[in-house]
Amino acid sequence: MDRKEFLSLLGLTVGGGVAISCLGGCTKEDGATPGGNTGGSGGGSLDFTLDLNAAENAVLNNNGGFLVKNGVIVARTTGGVYIAVAAACTHQGTIIQYQGNNSRFFCPNHGSTFSESGSVLNGPASSDLKQYKTELSGKNLRVFA
């Protein structure tokens, strides 16, 4: 019996090598969503809630406060409005900061600035930051696409 006949008996073809390579226990990571929490401009399914009573989120109880969570920078403006945009600078991916007194986001790497809605104000970045929605319910702040 040659190789082709042997494989045929097993119900496989010569091209079926990929299929049998996973018989030993390959697993599928069900929760994997490419780009979901990487801080990139993807992540259309992004949706999380911050408990503003929690110490780790307390900075958002102050105007001008901000934090980075799940690749998103969430800030409270000097006017008390919650805003959120992708945290990674569109130039080279550095995590940006919020400057409430200047009503803008700032990248400390090369100095790009972005409006509170994520639009480029000054380069070298040339692409806007993805903006996310926010919704405050009691002390729960939802951030979502």
Residues lying near ligand FES in the complex (CB under 6 A): 89, 91-92, 94, 107, 109-112, 124-125
What is the nearest approach in angstroms of ligand FES to the Cβ of residue 92?
A: 4
Q: Closer CB to ligand FES, residue 75 or residue 141?
A: 75
CB of 102 to ligand FES, least distance (A): 16
Give the type of residue at 115.
S
3-state secondary structure of 18: helix
**Residue 85 or 107 with smaller CB distance to ligand FES:** 107
| CB of residue 113 to ligand FES, shortest distance in Å | 9
Task: Tokens for 76, please give them.
Answer: 């409270």
Q: E-assigned strands of the chain?
A: 47-51, 66-69, 72-76, 82-86, 97-99, 104-106, 113-114, 120-122, 131-137, 140-144
